[in-house]
Copies of this chain bind each other. A is one copy, B any other.
């Protein structure tokens, strides 16, 4: 029996033991009336359907998304891979697994990325914007470094928010120069850094930090409102001039561009307009990157739900 084989590398007939995520647990009964569990085992490399026959043990739907130690065998059912679990228990504290091997993560070095974000913030010439951003960063440092940017669609992996924000900061830094006549670099970069911080409260996360669901306040209030509200409070604490606080709140509230995409107000200054375009651009490019990565040259992806179209990977 082999140890901790990655899901993407499991071969039919292979017997393994190791730590995996157990997702989407559902308790069922067979036609013969025997209880079993249908679920999916997963790690950072992929997912596979799994069955645990004749099981009336303690695991329930509520344990979905948790880390387990399991033993079983890779097989196939109806032409699709299927894993049969022989034994399973929840991972205990101190168990020797590496969370980074279980949860998919952004293709970047989080420490280096954080350093680059800090450097960019330190470059803001306006002391008000700079101190507000640095205060917000210090309050949200851990989440900002680690949480996904979404439940699905794009950047739905560990450090997804960091990757998305850093990419946008780089683009914004360049474009603030290109459109320097009409865009204030400090305001734009501050807005980019702050725009999605409300997601920390909007997205509920599993043990390993992946997004499992929206929170109640995430659905009833949304991350635009929650982010802008916190900036308003922090700006007051730090004594920012009202106009600067107002502009930052406006950038956050309007960054989805149009009401039908969730903007609470429409962009009305050059920096909010540009922020909403950079956000759109980075989301789109990441959707392309994720969708095209598994597509052969010269062919199309299946229809991408979020864009309502198929994407083409040219030679």
Q: Which residues of B contact A174 (CB under 8 A)?
A: 171, 174
A225 touches B228 (CB 8 A): yes
Q: Which residues of B contact A250 (CB under 8 A)?
A: 220-221
Residue count of chain A within 8 Å CB distance of chain B: 70
A26 touches B312 (CB 8 A): no
Q: Is A87 an interface residue (CB 8 A)?
A: no
Shortest beta-carbon distance from A298 to chain B in Å: 7
Q: Which residues of B contact A253 (CB under 8 A)?
A: 221-222, 225, 264
Instruction: Using CB atoms, name the residue of chain B closest to A262.
Output: B259
B285 touches A274 (CB 8 A): yes
Q: Which residues of B contact A309 (CB under 8 A)?
A: 266, 268
Shortest beta-carbon distance from A273 to chain B in Å: 5
Q: Is A265 an interface residue (CB 8 A)?
A: yes
Q: Is A233 an interface residue (CB 8 A)?
A: yes
Q: Which residues of B contact A221 (CB under 8 A)?
A: 228, 246, 249-250, 253, 265
Shortest beta-carbon distance from A132 to chain B in Å: 16
Instruction: Using CB atoms, name the residue of chain B closest to A311.
Output: B268
Interface members, chain A 243-301 (any B CB < 8 Å):
243, 246-247, 249-250, 253, 259-260, 262, 264-266, 268-270, 273-274, 277, 280-281, 284-285, 288-289, 292, 298, 300
Shortest beta-carbon distance from A293 to chain B in Å: 8
Instruction: Using CB atoms, name the residue of chain B closest to A280.
Output: B277
B78 touches A29 (CB 8 A): yes
Q: Which residues of B contact A183 (CB under 8 A)?
A: 285
Shortest beta-carbon distance from A185 to chain B in Å: 13
Shortest beta-carbon distance from A165 to chain B in Å: 13
A301 CA to B217 CA, complexed, in Å: 15
Chain A window 23-36, contacts with chain B (Cβ cutoff 8 Å), 1 for yes, 0 for no: 00011111101000
Q: Is A22 an interface residue (CB 8 A)?
A: no
Q: Which residues of B contact A269 (CB under 8 A)?
A: 220, 288, 311-314
B281 touches A33 (CB 8 A): no
B289 touches A284 (CB 8 A): no
Q: Which residues of B contact A187 (CB under 8 A)?
A: 314
Interface members, chain A 149-174 (any B CB < 8 Å):
167, 170-171, 174
Q: Which residues of B contact A30 (CB under 8 A)?
A: 78
